[in-house]
A and B are shown apart, each in its own frame.
Chain A
Amino acid sequence: MPRKLSMLLVVTALVLSACGDSGSPADGSEEPTDASPLVVYSGRSEDLIGPLLDRFTDVTGIEVSVRYGGSTELATTLLQEGESTDADVFFAQDPASLGATAPLMTTLDDSILSLVPERFSDADGKWVGTSGRARVVIYDTGDVDDDELPESLEEIVDPRWGGRMGVAPTNGSFLAFVAAMIVEQGEEYTLDWLERLEANQPVDFPGNSPIVAAIDAGEVDLGLVNHYYLLRLQAEGSGEQTANHFPTGGDAASLVMPAGAAVLAGSDQLENAKAFVEFLLNDTTQEYFATETFEFPLVPGIEAAEDLPEIDEIDTPNINLSDLADQLERATDLVTEAGLL
């Protein structure tokens, strides 16, 4: 046994040192030289963003070290790390995470901010929107007729959908949608709306993907999700009887929320960090968002994926996205109070 143990120890040490090499390229070069990689905290997954980062390094020669995670989780990590963070860029899925970390960020140059319509970036210029994601009603084309599809918040909580609607009340996108409702229509309306939603006995899912999968599997008839999950599923070869509906009511049900990027004020390579943000907004990358992640490009002139409406055709409510971060906690409170949690 002791011999076996010691052999195991040796093997372990070898494997560990091997993966240590590939895992933390920053080891041993703590001083801020040009050789140290640009550290990106990405709330967007490697499958979506990995190829982009490779291209960035190919084009600019700047090495990148990425930390992938949930957007909220990374925002909290950044706040916890404070000044001592190694991160240079924060690339997040939603305005709430970006808003929460805004105090740590530098103000972006107008040359970057002006690339994107004003409504998709922070009012104080702390972050810039990079791609758009629309809230949609996803539905089973066999079970829901086109002419009965809900067009507004009010129609979403219509009693006819009792027990047929899939929601993800603990999901970040749903909470951001609720936060937008608070900003636009106030807490009282939002709580009442959530209570009516709950009274309809919606089917609870932990996230957008499971809702889309459940509709594809015929388990529920319709659901509240972001628009690109269905296009992903269809790219995987499923989802023939499932479709997206973009509500036309102009309230939070039609919300378009940007993913976005921000540069840490304490970054030791501000220029590279800004080059990275600019890279996210160049035409090639914007086209990548359109064709590979099925999001809406935000730079004018770049076409969205086929089958999607133009982003300007979506009747998104006129709210200041920077306010979402402040309402996130209240959104969670109200979702709990309404009994959805």
Chain B
Amino acid sequence: MTTQSEVLSQPAPAQKRRPIARWWWALAALGLAPTLIPTLTLVGAVLTGGAVASVPAVRLAELLTNTLLLAAAVTGTSVAIGLGTSWVTTRTDLPGARIFSILVTLPLVMPSYVVALTLLGAGGSRGVITELFGLVSFPTITGFWGSWLALTVFAVPFVHLGAVPAISKLDTSLDDAARGLGSSRWGAFRTVTLPLLRPTIAASSLLVALYTISDFGAVSLLRYDTFTRAIYAQFAGRIDRRPALTLAVILMAVAVAVVIAERRLRRKATYHRNRPGRTQMVQHLGPMGRLWSYTGLGVLITVSLVIPVTVLIAWVSRGLSSGQELGDVWIDAARSLGVSLAAAVAAAVVAIPIAVVIVRDRTRIAPVVETLTWTSYSLPHITVGIALVTFALEIARPFYQTTLLVVVAYLAMFLPITVGTASDALRRISPDTEDASRSLGRSALSTVFRVTVPLMAPGLLAGGALVFLTAMKELPATLLLRPNGFETLAIRIWATTGEGFYTRAGAASLVLLAVSAIPLALVTLRDLYD
């Protein structure tokens, strides 16, 4: 497949490229710093404090197997569904495609434990579905399949949002050529389009797989034992943090292994085109095509959005009729917006030099840089929070319990999201375009701002939007790092569900959904599709 794609979009001899400027490296290193702080603090703490074994190796192996099985299942399903939804909403004449695109993306803003709670609240003999529709008994899905469902609900929008820019910019002339040469529609897709989408698929797969590895909220509520369960149990049951941190370092090593394995599979390939291709072609859907598309999207949106929102509304109305109060969520919403927006912008800006190094540099350090961006992302968020608390208390005391440290934590954890979408965008820009700009007299810096960054813009926006939505619902690290009294929506939801205040939890979740939907709609409508 690699050779085919190279033949099909052969660029000007790529090996002859001059090395990238040193200041790219300097900027990339600077951008990487926030990610490295938790990683290094954690490894340092375990090295100096000593590794403490607390859970039998046999049990750890069992938990790790469970984790990896779930990661594989969630990744496979969500990539398949996410590619489908992004294709249908960008490349066909399906009426209402953009609205569907927003609806598909929306579930992303719900914390995974809220999705899990609503799935639990929907089923059962006294669940909301039974109450509303009088069905006999809609079963409650727990364990592996429940976790798979809840995390897939979260992951499909992730893949969708990441794939939309790539698919909408896809060069269809190659597909046409293949079809003209006698390939079937499926054959052309498999041998031409799919290889072109490989970097996108690879980036999304890693994001989803490593998120699944780090998740605790959903799997714990749905009662599927994964590795994070062991880590959280150590935090809950001990004042001594070394056993938990030891386990976190093991999990980080597993994540690094996954990243390296993924790169081995991906190998090196170039994807950009050197002549303008056709991207406008839109596939016409017949009545059957539309029917299938609407059915598929309908089922997906029912499971991922309609059921959870129905349950949330049922909680709120059930509680209000029993005299519960909603509480004041708007200040929390403003705080969530502030830190999440800051993190999204920072992650998008910082991703530019890192993507340039990863994509354009030919030295052996570039892959190392790429691997390093993943280290904090794959950690359960509570460990990133603890690492930054330790770092701030011992080295940067003035930043302890400030919003700045919260933003740094988001940047550390979510950087690979923007780096992924930015690199993907950059891979589709031929260096020849930049060389042309340089030879026409623009300076290197001017070329960056006038040529490279504008061409990367859809990728940066998509990545920034993903970071924003992920940060909006972040809980464990925010809880540890925020200033005193700084409550966010996610903290409100956690605190209220933990104590059984489902009315307020439902209200805060609905506000989270509404507040996140606005920027999401703007990005989806205005930029990704134009």
Contact = CB atoms under 8 A, between A and B. Distances in A.
Interface of A: 1-2, 5, 8-9, 11-12, 15-16, 18-20, 22-26, 39, 45-48, 65-70, 72-73, 75-77, 79-81, 84, 86, 100, 169-172, 175, 203-207, 209-210, 212-214, 216-219, 229, 232-233, 235-238, 241, 325, 328-329, 331-333, 335-336, 339, 341
Q: Is the interface of B mostly helix, strand, loop or mixed?
A: helix
Interface in B471-530: 479-480, 482-487, 491-492, 495-504
Nearest to B127: A217
A175 B121 contact: no
A16 B321 CA distance: 36
Given A19-B339, A72-B239, A76-B239, 20 more contacts: A5-B349, A19-B334, A19-B338, A19-B403, A24-B483, A45-B496, A47-B504, A68-B495, A69-B479, A77-B389, A80-B390, A81-B393, A172-B237, A175-B237, A206-B220, A207-B498, A217-B125, A329-B239, A333-B54, A341-B229
Contacts of B59: 336, 339, 341
Q: Is the interface of A mostly helix, strand, loop or mixed?
A: helix
Given A65-B485, A80-B389, A236-B502, A12 B230 contact: no
B294 interface: no
Interface string B228-254: 011011111111110000000000000
Nearest to B140: A219
Contact of A209 (B339, B491, B497): B497
B334 A328 contact: no
A5 B464 CA distance: 11
A84 B389 CA distance: 13
Interface residues of B, number: 78
A81 B54 CA distance: 25
A47 B454 CA distance: 47
Nearest to B494: A45
A229 B497 CA distance: 11
Contacts of A218: 124-126
A332 B234 contact: yes
A23 B403 contact: yes
Given A12-B342, A66-B484, A235-B324, A175 B236 contact: yes
B507 to A, nearest CB: 12
Contact of A238 (B236, B318, B393, B496): B318
A339 B225 CA distance: 12
Nearest to B142: A219
Interface of B: 54-56, 59, 120-121, 123-127, 140, 220-221, 223, 225, 229-230, 232-241, 315, 318-319, 321-322, 324, 327, 331, 334-335, 337-339, 341-342, 345, 348-349, 389-390, 393, 397, 401-403, 449, 453-454, 457, 460, 479-480, 482-487, 491-492, 495-504
A236 B125 contact: no
Contacts of A175: 236-237
Contacts of B496: 45, 47
Contact of A331 (B237, B334, B480): B237
Contacts of A169: 233
Nearest to B315: A236
Nearest to A81: B393
B402 A84 contact: no
10 contacts: A8-B345, A47-B327, A47-B495, A67-B401, A175-B237, A210-B120, A210-B221, A212-B500, A236-B318, A332-B237
A288 to B, nearest CB: 15
Contacts of B232: 170
Contacts of A216: 126
Nearest to B458: A1
Contacts of A100: 239
B498 A209 contact: yes
B237 A39 contact: no
Nearest to B336: A19
Given A80-B390, A213-B121, A15 B334 contact: yes
Contact of A24 (B397, B486, B492): B486
Contacts of B503: 236
Nearest to B394: A80
A1 B491 CA distance: 33
Contacts of B390: 80
B150 to A, nearest CB: 14
Contact of A18 (B324, B334, B485, B500): B334
A229 B500 contact: yes
B236 A170 contact: yes
B500 A24 contact: no
B393 to A, nearest CB: 6
A172 B236 contact: yes
Contacts of B54: 332-333, 336
Contacts of B240: 329
Contacts of B492: 46
Contacts of B140: 217, 219
Contact of A232 (B229, B237, B484, B499): B499
A204 B223 contact: yes
A235 B319 CA distance: 8
B319 to A, nearest CB: 5
Contacts of A170: 220, 229, 232-233, 236-237
Nearest to A99: B239
Nearest to B223: A204
Contacts of A217: 120-121, 123-127, 140
Nearest to A6: B345
Given A219-B124, A237-B318, A84 B238 contact: no
Contacts of A204: 223, 225
B126 A72 contact: no
B230 A341 contact: yes
B223 A203 contact: yes
Contacts of A65: 484-485
- List 4 A-B pairs, minimum CB-CB distance, nearest first: A332-B237, A217-B124, A237-B322, A24-B483
A63 to B, nearest CB: 11
Contacts of B499: 45, 47-48, 209, 232
A332 B233 contact: yes
A1 B338 contact: no
B239 A73 contact: no
Contact of A84 (B319, B397, B483, B498): B397
Contact of A332 (B238, B349, B393, B454): B238
B121 A328 contact: no
Contacts of B495: 45-47, 68
A213 B500 CA distance: 9
A67 B389 CA distance: 15
Contacts of B223: 203-205
Given A65-B484, A170-B229, A236 B238 contact: no
B322 A236 contact: yes
B380 to A, nearest CB: 13
Most buried by B among A5, A86, A172, A241: A5
Nearest to B225: A204
B20 to A, nearest CB: 21
A99 to B, nearest CB: 9
A231 to B, nearest CB: 9
Contacts of B397: 84
B480 A73 contact: yes
Contacts of A15: 334, 337-338, 341-342
Contacts of A39: 484
A20 B331 CA distance: 11
Given A47-B327, A48-B499, A65-B484, A328 B403 contact: no
Nearest to A212: B500
A1 B453 contact: yes
A79 B393 CA distance: 12
Given A1-B457, A48-B499, A8 B341 contact: yes
